[in-house]
Structure 1
Amino acid sequence: MALTATPITPRFGAELSGIDVGKPLSDADFTAIKDAMNQWGVCVIRGTGFDNAAHIAFSRHFGHLETAPAVKNRPRRHPNTPEIFDASNLTPTGEILVDENMVLHKKGDRLWHTDSSFMDLRSAYSLLLAYEVPKEGGLTYFADMRSAYEDLPADIREKVDTLQAEHSLWYSRLLAGFPITEEEIDGRPKARQPMVMHQEATGRTAIYIGSHAMDVMGLPRAEGRALIQYLIAFATQPQYVFGVSYEPGDIVIWDNLATMHRGGDFDIYKERRDMRRTTVREGEPPEHADDPFTAYFSASAPKN
């Protein structure tokens, strides 16, 4: 069967059907999926039947996969498959997370953001697979940053075309209530990113911003943050946003260079939400094995 893309909104998001992604993909099948991603920015595939290995194998079609960081005193939930990033509210032993610092850290994921914008090596695609979902809530919300760019007032669009912002994971955590100061954040790694991204495959341009963005280069801090907040508020108006609900086995793929997203609320202390993500690096694969996320968290560790 040929791939069918059923739009979620007129300009943004689609559910894909017609291709069994549980079987090896032909080049033509993957080209059809990639074309759908270019057009819609976010694509949902229901009932994949994937386990960790199949999730990873499918994701490799999109490019080089990052590995989840190895953080001191915090073991990976999936040590045998380091390409799997844990997006759950569970501990490594599978219990509901109650550690307040970790809860506050993960709370930052409920702010509008784009994955890994705080890294010099940007993420292109994210592929999030559902294993367990809460009875209520727990959606993922997406914002159409290409349409938002196209609809910006002309003077704002012209302004952001030439600007860059500095991004820090820890700034979004501060916004979410994590116990860290701006002085500590200023001493940790940041990444400088353009505030717009041009997509060669479609000729479209997207706003590239989110809660990790803390400063606009060349502007006073207060003015830069006011611009960041304006852009996030503009891009998350109802006409640019939709939410994805899940059943186990559903996967959602999004283009980090054309979207923002955030996790939706649910009862994190009573409901289990086991979501697992692979992350595809932008550009060509590295010549040698690397582990930039582990290096990032090592450089972010408090200095004694």
Structure 2
Amino acid sequence: MPLKVEPILPKFGAECSGLDLTKPLSADELKQVTDAMDTYGVTVWRNTGLTDEQHVEFSRNFGYLERVPLREGAKYRLSCRELFDASNLNLDGQITQDKAAIEYRKGDRLWHTDSAYMEKRTSYSMLLAHAVPPPGVGGETWFADTRSAYHDLSPEMKALIEDKVGLNSLWWSRKQAGADIDEAEIDARPKARHPLVHVHKGSGRKSLFIAAHTMDIEGMDKAEGRALLQQLIAHATQPQYVFNVKWNVGDLVIWDNLCTMHRGGEYDYTAYRRDMRRTTVREGTEPHTMDTGDDPFTELFAATPRTVDINAARDAGR
């Protein structure tokens, strides 16, 4: 059965059906998926029936999957290191009451791109819903179209940002969300350099690459650069570039971090279980790559400020 694609906005986002993602896909079917992603940036797949293992196997079709950081003696809720835990649950599967864990997750409510704080960028993210809040109480996910947003910038703004490089830090976005981290400490931590504008390979369209992780613009005064970043984010998140996904159990959403931003919607974090599990594909890697020999997330989080360390917070609560 061929892929059925129903656009959400004229150039951004699409509901997709017609393929069984629990089974191996043919080369033609995979091309249909990547063509839809190149065109729309975000695809929504309802009631997929995917298990954790099938989620990981499907994701391998698009490249190497990053792995959650290892910590000596740490316990993890999910069985696969390729699955990032984007839930509000503790190790026992109950709603966490740990204040540090709750504080850390507030950064997810800011407009961001996954792993922009890493030197090796993420292309696709694939988020699967296992438990969601009831209808009408929030917990949706919002997406913004950074290709159309770039296209609509003035010629003067395009010229200003054409060769600019952003400095990206995970701890900066957590600070913006309210975490108590001194800026001097953030400056001492690793930061990733990425151009503010790049050509999206799959479509050939130029796109902004900005978000809450982008702390400064290289070579610009801090205040001036941060004001420019806020201006660009505000521009890219205007209503004409944005839609949201309301989740049901079994839904999978795939988004391309190289031409989108996203953020989590508000909901009562302490009242409703929200079990979301994400795979992330490293940009430029081959399908079904099992191991690249490196482990950049473990390396980065080995130097994590303890005030915002989600894994340490969970371990401490055991």
Q: TM range, normalised to the smaller chain?
A: over 0.9
Superposition pairs of residues 286-297 of structure 1, within 5 angstroms: 288-297=292-301
1:54, 1:147 → 2: CA distance?
33
Q: Structure 1 residues 154-163 or 166-175, which shifts more?
A: 154-163
What corresponds to 2:34 in structure 1?
A: 34
What corresponds to 1:129 in structure 2?
A: 128
Q: For residue 301 of structure 1, report the CA deviation from its aligned partner.
A: 4.4
Superposition pairs of residues 157-236 of structure 1, within 5 angstroms: 157-236=158-237
What corresponds to 1:113 in structure 2?
A: 112
Q: For residue 300 of structure 1, report the CA deviation from its aligned partner.
A: 2.8
- What per-residue deviation string (whole Å, max 9, x for no partner) do you get for residues 184-226 of structure 1? 1011111011001202332101100000001000100000000
TM-score, structure 1 normalization: 0.96
Distance 1:216 1:246, change over 3 A: same
Q: Secondary structure at the match of 1:43?
A: strand
What corresponds to 1:104 in structure 2?
A: 103
Q: Secondary structure at the match of 1:165?
A: strand
Q: Secondary structure at the match of 1:13?
A: strand
1:115, 1:71 → 2: CA distance?
21
Q: Secondary structure at the match of 1:37?
A: helix
1:212, 1:132 → 2: CA distance?
27
Superposition pairs of residues 133-144 of structure 1, within 5 angstroms: 133-135=132-134, 136-144=137-145
Q: Secondary structure at the match of 1:299?
A: coil
What corresponds to 2:85 in structure 1?
A: 86
Superposition pairs of residues 217-256 of structure 1, within 5 angstroms: 217-256=218-257
Q: Secondary structure at the match of 1:267?
A: coil
Q: For residue 289 of structure 1, report the CA deviation from its aligned partner.
A: 2.0
What corresponds to 1:64 in structure 2?
A: 64
- Are the aligned partners of 1:197 and 1:258 in contact in 2 as well (CA < 8 Å)? no
- Are the aligned partners of 1:130 and 1:246 in contact in 2 as well (CA < 8 Å)? yes
Distance 1:14 1:288, change over 3 A: closer
2:274, 2:304 → 1: CA distance?
28
Q: For residue 243 of structure 1, report the CA deviation from its aligned partner.
A: 0.2
- When the two structures are aligned, how many residues end up with a matched partner? 301
1:223, 1:278 → 2: CA distance?
35
- Are the aligned partners of 1:189 and 1:300 in contact in 2 as well (CA < 8 Å)? no
Distance 1:202 1:7, change over 3 A: same
1:256, 1:174 → 2: CA distance?
22
1:102, 1:144 → 2: CA distance?
29
Structure 1 segments of 4+ aligned residues over 6 angstroms from their partners: none
Amino acid at match of 1:191: A
Amino acid at match of 1:9: L
What corresponds to 2:312 in structure 1?
A: none
1:14, 1:210 → 2: CA distance?
22
What corresponds to 2:284 in structure 1?
A: 283
TM-score, structure 2 normalization: 0.92
1:130, 1:11 → 2: CA distance?
25
Q: For residue 102 of structure 1, report the CA deviation from its aligned partner.
A: 1.4
What corresponds to 2:309 in structure 1?
A: none
What corresponds to 2:260 in structure 1?
A: 259
Q: Structure 1 residues 284-293 or 225-234, which shifts more?
A: 284-293
Q: For residue 22 of structure 1, report the CA deviation from its aligned partner.
A: 1.7
Structure 2 unaligned spans of 5+: 307-318
Q: Secondary structure at the match of 2:59?
A: helix
- Are the aligned partners of 1:164 and 1:216 in contact in 2 as well (CA < 8 Å)? yes
- What per-residue deviation string (whole Å, max 9, x for no partner) do you get for residues 72-125 of structure 1? 6753221x3100000000011111111111111110000000000000010000
1:172, 1:31 → 2: CA distance?
35
Q: For residue 299 of structure 1, report the CA deviation from its aligned partner.
A: 2.4
Distance 1:138 1:278, change over 3 A: same
Q: Structure 1 residues 62-71 or 135-144, which shifts more?
A: 62-71
Amino acid at match of 2:163: T
What corresponds to 1:75 in structure 2?
A: 75
Structure 1 unaligned spans of 5+: none
Q: For residue 169 of structure 1, report the CA deviation from its aligned partner.
A: 0.2
1:21, 1:154 → 2: CA distance?
42
